[in-house]
Amino acid sequence: MFFLLGGSDDSNRKRRKSIPQSLQKELLLRCKGKCELCGLDLHKSRVKPHFHHKDGNPSNNKPSNLIVLCPNCHTKVHSRLEKTRRKRRRSRRRRESPLDVLKEVEDSIIKHLDEINRRFSDLF
């Protein structure tokens, strides 16, 4: 399977290595079966886990480079990355690391969850 970075010539393709089942299990144990951004219990909600490469390199399957996300958070991370890329193309600013974007998304989600918790605790 190929991961297209853009364009159709072979120089723009990165080879995607599949993540071994044993590594997937290790990652799910590390995160206790929960999305590492929003905390959704993937098993209880019957949601298929997504494995995100922090550095954007689909062939780098080191455990330190992979995080487990629910489909919603995975989409948000990639949407944010794409939005940032478009912004950069327009402004020609220095490239932002995918880790910085991931941290920004995580902070946003945590802030949102804190607000939900605060509202919920006000009810009782």
pLDDT digits (tens, 9 = 90+) for 43-53: 999 999 999 99
H helices of the chain, in order, are 21-30, 71-91, 98-123
80 pLDDT tier (thresholds 50, 70, 90)? confident
Percent of the chain with pLDDT over 70: 75
Strand partners of residue 69: 50
Among candidates 10, 89, 21, which has minimal Cα distance to 49? 21
- The pLDDT assigned to 4 comes to 34
Query: For the whole model, what pTM was predicted?
Result: 0.58
pLDDT single digits (tens) 90-123:
665 455 677 777 888 888 888 878 877 787 776 6
Strand partners of residue 53: 66
Integer-rounded Cα Rg, in Å, for the chain is 17
What is the residue whose two structure tokens read 């919920």?
120
